[in-house]
Amino acid sequence: MQNLLHNLNPEQLAAVTLPAQPALILAGAGSGKTRVLTTRIAWLIQTMQISPAGLLAVTFTNKAAKEMLARLSAMLPINTRGMWIGTFHGVCNRLLRAHHRDAALPQTFQILDMADQLSAIKRLIKRLNVDDEKYPPKQLQYFINSAKDQGLRSHAVDAHDDFTRKFVELYAAYDEQCQREGVVDFAELLLRSYELLSRNQPLREHYQARFKHILVDEFQDTNDLQYQWLKLIAGQHNSVFAVGDDDQSIYAFRGANVGNMAAFEREFNVQNLIKLEQNYRSHGHILDSANQLIAHNTNRLGKNLRTDAGHGEQIRIYEASSDLQEAQWLIEEMKSLINEGWLRSEIAVLYRSNAQSRVIEYALFTAALPYRVYGGQRFFERAEVKHAIAYLQLIDNPHNDSAFLRVVNFPTRGIGARSIEQLQDAARQYGVSLYAAVPYVAGKAGSSLGGFVKLIEGMRFETQQLPLPEMVQVMLEKSTLIVHYQGEKEGADRIENLEQLIAAATVFVSEEGFGLDAPALLGPQAHAAQNSVLTMGDGTEIIDADAPLAAVMSPLSAFLSHASLEAGDNQAQAGQDAIQLMTVHSAKGLEFDAVFITGLEEGLFPHENSEESDDGVEEERRLMYVAITRARKRLYMSFSQTRMLHGQTRYNMKSRFFDELPEDSLKWLSPKVQSHWFGASQIKAAWVDAPELGSNQIAQKMNRDVGWRIGESVHHAKFGDGVIVNIEGSGAQARAHINFGRNGMKLLDLGVAKLERSP
């Protein structure tokens, strides 16, 4: 026991050894929350308060779940394979697999990742002859997922106008299409699981009796449906150990509700609230800045990070005249760090918008500095891998229309758009899947489509007794995907990825306990499932979800679910020795020795859209808090007077967040004054009037003529602080374009406007 609890600080120890009651752990950035969670689980098991099977732990990324399982295996001599530790989507997938009949799903239901869901929506819109410009597919996708995240089916959505009524109609049609094809999207996993537990009392009571201890990581990121699901499975008497940080709630755009933390404290009558404030990551100046910044937010549960690591270095601030100059400054600072011995992989550049990366990437490329855009395309999202997965999906469930359409003519086999239209017409007429509609298509189209069906049926027959890795290998050969890519100029990498799919299947069946020789379709899990049946209090028989994955799913179905869930995970992998580039949202959960936060300008960070909602700026401030607390040793911040974004030049004021940081913790690398720069049109006009003058003399003349200079900081009684970005005319006719940040760009008559120079 002492070995398990050694080196915990007093707050961590108090959290780990709490009694079996609802508890809220406010875990600040870098405070060791993963250690607390895993040690809590190990302590509960070691003190025999719970068996490994009687515990449920929910995380937000597959990476976090795997890390938790790995740490537990190192702490205790137990088999973690059957433990219910996973993401919300992973746990709900497992629940629905075990109770697919009660959930009105086929046992082989497949999961649509976000890209596949969008494809299914586009197909629906086309089938119903809906104008995709008036009703954009991506907007419909957001509408459907948002409704599901709130626990709303189409009939429960408030349709207050014609546009919304059409979206509700399409939502209902989309649900029917998914049900017919035997597929579910990510949001559906949660909603269908919630509905199942809501209406099935014996099943709900079974899980409430089983999971006496429930632990939830990143609680601040839960949405409304996840919180309702949690309340349902916890019941009235179970212990819920919720770990989160309301100051790091940055996913409101995905439906996350930071208010769930306060609601949990109130509704579960939480008596145990512990704050983990000891930070083991960052130096003092970094934490002081984070603390003072986030203190400007209201309605916080409240905590203050501290460290024993000393003050460390001040935060370096740089003001650039343009985004190009900002990028060059980044390069010089990075080179200096690398020359001092800092690892490239421990240097990160963070930005608020993906659009900012273009200039930075070009500068890195030109400087021959290796870099990696974090959160880029993952293995299971690559086109060639998705093609291969589609073939496997058809082997598992031939009625998956999305998979059918992806590969029916890939590699090309003479099945054109007209043939597909005939097939879709037949499917609509007879109310069946595309696969089942093939016999109803006559002529050459029917013959070509019949050849594809024969190919899939041949694959199903030939692979049903093969282990999963061999099935994948046969599929790659029979589909001719390998041959197709051999004919491409840059096909070697794609072929390597396809061959890697065989390796991924091998690792998967081994890790999940299927056995390397278990047939992919008809493995021993079919027999195990027969011996894993529970009888509920009302006599209902269900598959025991306590059984390992191999008892409730075939290796193929399990692997396909794994592929979809991995593709949907928003946490990418790191490890390459290259400078790391990423959005601040992608940086959540990561840490680096040196961090550059770029583009700290009004309208960019905080983003201009934040003004549209009451909590918008507070969420941006939480995002800035996350950015600051990614740094261990050295932190840089930069902003630029001008920036080219989306094809337009922006004239900027520095972010308000600078005014919310402690001055003692900042080190300005450039003077806190605006440069004296002019627009090309003004200089050209002045040159026509006085061609004998040089550009510097022209600038001085223009300043004297109007009494103001471009780039000067000013104050207006109504619009507040601003920056002069352009001047038209001279003397009494002079007018100025002034960027007032939150109040936008204004054109003011300099002879009338009562401007004051900012100090």
List, by residue number, the catalytic residues.
33-34, 217-218, 248, 630
- Cα–chain center distance at 109: 24
Helix/strand/coil for 746? strand
Copy the structure tokens of residue 499: 């061959």
Which neighbouring-strand residues pair with 535? 541
Cα 466 from Cα 460, distance rounded (Å):
10
**Structure tokens that stand for 123 in this block:** 């197909």
Left if phi > 0, otherwise alpha if psi is -120 to 50, otherwise beta: which for 399?
Answer: alpha
Q: For residue 27, what is the DSSP state?
A: E
- How many CB atoms within 10 Å of residue 693? 14
Burial annotation 288-326 (CB, 10 A radius, 16+ → b, else e): bbbbebbeebeebbebebebebeebebbbbbbbebbbbb
Beta-strand relationship, 592-597 and 315-322 = unpaired
The alpha-helical segments, DSSP class H, found in 552-602 are 555-568
Distance CA 678, CA 252 (A): 40
- Within a 10 A sphere around the Cβ of 496, how many other Cβ atoms? 11
- Residue 728 has phi, psi (to 5 degrees) of -115, 140
Beta strands in 66-191 (DSSP E): 84-87, 110-112, 183-185
Q: Which of 607, 654, 634 is nearest to 250 (CA)?
A: 607
β-strand partners of 639: 319
Supply the DSSP symbol for 542. E
DSSP state of 600: -
Does residue 509 contact residue 468 with C-beta atoms inside 8 Å? Answer: yes
Name the one residue in this structure whose structure tokens are 């919304």: 164
CB 734 within 8 A of CB 706: yes
* Among 165, 162, 182, 189, residue whose Cα is nearest residue 120: 182
What string of DSSP letters covers 295-350?
Answer: TTSSS------B-SS---SPEEEEEEEEHHHHHHHHHHHHHHHHHTT--GGGEEEE
Q: Are 746 and 721 in contact (CB under 8 A)?
A: no
Element (H, E) at 457: helix 443-463
Spatial distance between the Cα atoms of 505 and 392, rounded to a whole number of angstroms:
12
Hey, what amino acid is at 380? F
Instruction: Tell how strand 666-668 and strand 713-716 pair up.
Output: unpaired
Beta strands 23-27 and 592-597 are: unpaired
Contacts 24+ apart (CB under 8 A), 480-483: 480/411, 481/384, 481/387, 481/388, 481/391, 481/411, 483/411
β-pairing, 756-757 with 713-716? antiparallel
Residues forming a β-bridge with 722 = 714
